[in-house]
């Protein structure tokens, strides 16, 4: 979206736009950063194939945030591979708490909710507590084990509402994992409006918090919860209060989920190592 679009999109209450390519102007005393500027993938690529092209952008943006932004700034990384770019951005902004950095998996969460809402013929907002574990990539694990759907006046587990475990453990997961690629195949361009909506949803959750009993998914630094590798930007279910996220603890993890959570963790560790060495070049 260009500057004129931002001003003229009437759903956004936009007071002003400053168009600049000077980081000292762009990042000066900002409260929130939506880091979108990066190369998108083409058909046939995985998002991690963008690492070499994009990771240095996030190194430079981390350095600029470190120098110019408020120390309370909340930074959302959208440019792919989003989780690892967020990790690098935080690494090069050491004066900003690393909890202030997050990577977008809200688009995956919204996609998962919309698949289930479509199956049940209910509004998307009636599906809650879908989890995206791990990387915003084709290894992500969209998990419905803890999700509920509002059907016939009550919240019921999605597994009970759908009554089709083969679908929920099969096509549902691969559809969400491959949705970005399906959009690129159809448009010859990456998702745009749905990604912008997800970025707004993500930041709105940070600013307004999560309602009681609800959680959302975002890529945040792993503290080792759920036996994930500490220090990678892993997508977890989180609750948010006073602009601080907390990983939802103690959800039961069965063998099916464990295997999928480990696959996406392994990919994140590989990406982290590649990104760190690319930044040292
Ligand atoms: N995490 C998600 O869910 C999600 C969703 C959609 C898109 N994306 C990613 O967002 C990124 C942007 O996608 P797009 O479709 O808008 O691409 P695009 O090619 O339409 O736009 C990219 C923009 O980045 C700018 N840019 C290039 N180098 C830059 C730099 N060094 N600093 C600042 N800006 C720079 C370009 O000028 C261009 O305007 C891609 O990496 C894409 O894969 C992520
Ligand atoms: O798939 C992509 O490369 C773009 C974006 O990450 C998406 O999920 O739509």
**pLDDT the model gives residue 10:** 62
Residues of the chain with pLDDT under 50: none
Distance 147 CA to ligand 1 centre (A): 31
Question: What is the atom index within ligand 2 of the atom nearest the CA of 82?
Answer: 6
Ligand closest to 83 (CA) is: 1
**pLDDT the model gives residue 15:** 80
Dist. CA 10–CA 6, nearest whole Å: 8
Mean pLDDT of the chain: 95
Cis peptide before 81 (omega within 30 of 0): yes
**pLDDT the model gives residue 14:** 79
**pLDDT the model gives residue 150:** 98
| Beta-bridge mates of residue 150 | 155
**pLDDT the model gives residue 13:** 75
Domain 106-271: which CATH number of 3.90.110.10, 3.40.50.2020, 3.40.190.10, 3.30.2130.10: 3.90.110.10
If you take atom 7 of ligand 2, which residue's CA is the nearest one?
180
Annotated catalytic residue 146 = no
Domain ranges in the chain are: 3-104, 106-271
The domains spanning 3-104 and 106-271 adopt the same CATH topology: no
- Predicted confidence (pLDDT) per residue in 206-217, tens digit: 999 999 999 999
Instruction: Using alpha carbons, list the distances in angstroms from residue 47 to 55, 93, 135, 150.
Output: 12, 24, 10, 34
With residues binned 3-state (H G I as helix, E B as strand, rest as coil), the percentages for the chain, rounded to 5, are 45, 15, 35
37 Cβ below 6 A of ligand 1 = yes
- Predicted confidence (pLDDT) per residue in 149-200, tens digit: 999 999 999 999 999 999 999 999 999 999 999 999 999 999 999 999 999 9
Q: Which of 136, 146, 150, 202 is catalytic?
A: 136
**pLDDT the model gives residue 48:** 92
ipTM: 0.97
* CATH T-level fold of 3-104: Rossmann fold (3.40.50)
Ligand closest to 199 (CA) is: 1
């Amino acid at each position: 979206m260009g500057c004129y679009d931002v001003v003229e999109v009437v759903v956004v209450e936009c007071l002003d736009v400053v168009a600049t390519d000077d980081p000292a102007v762009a990042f000066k005393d900002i409260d929130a950063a939506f880091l979108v500027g990066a190369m998108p993938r083409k058909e046939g690529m995985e998002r991690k194939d963008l690492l070499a092209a994009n990771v240095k952008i996030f190194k430079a943006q981390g350095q600029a945030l470190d120098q110019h932004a408020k120390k309370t700034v909340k930074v959302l990384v959208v440019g792919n591979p989003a989780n690892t770019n967020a990790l690098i951005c935080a690494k090069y902004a050491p004066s900003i708490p690393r909890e202030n950095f997050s990577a977008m998996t809200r688009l995956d969460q919204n996609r998962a909710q919309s698949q289930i809402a479509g199956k049940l013929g209910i509004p998307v907002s009636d599906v809650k507590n879908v989890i995206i574990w791990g990387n915003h990539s084709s290894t992500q694990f969209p998990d419905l084990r803890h999700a509920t759907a509002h059907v016939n006046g009550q919240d019921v587990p999605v597994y009970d509402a759908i009554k089709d475990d083969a679908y929920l453990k099969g096509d549902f997961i691969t559809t969400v994992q491959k949705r970005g690629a399906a959009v690129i195949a159809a448009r010859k361009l990456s998702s745009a409006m749905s990604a912008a909506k997800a970025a707004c949803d993500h930041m709105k959750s940070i600013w307004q918090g999560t309602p009681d009993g609800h959680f959302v998914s975002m890529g945040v630094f792993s503290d080792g919860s759920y036996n994930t590798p500490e220090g990678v930007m892993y997508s977890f279910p989180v609750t948010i209060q006073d602009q601080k996220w907390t990983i939802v603890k103690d959800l039961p993890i069965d063998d099916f989920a464990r295997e999928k959570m480990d696959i996406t963790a392994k990919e994140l560790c590989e990406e982290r190592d590649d990104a760190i060495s690319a930044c040292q070049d």
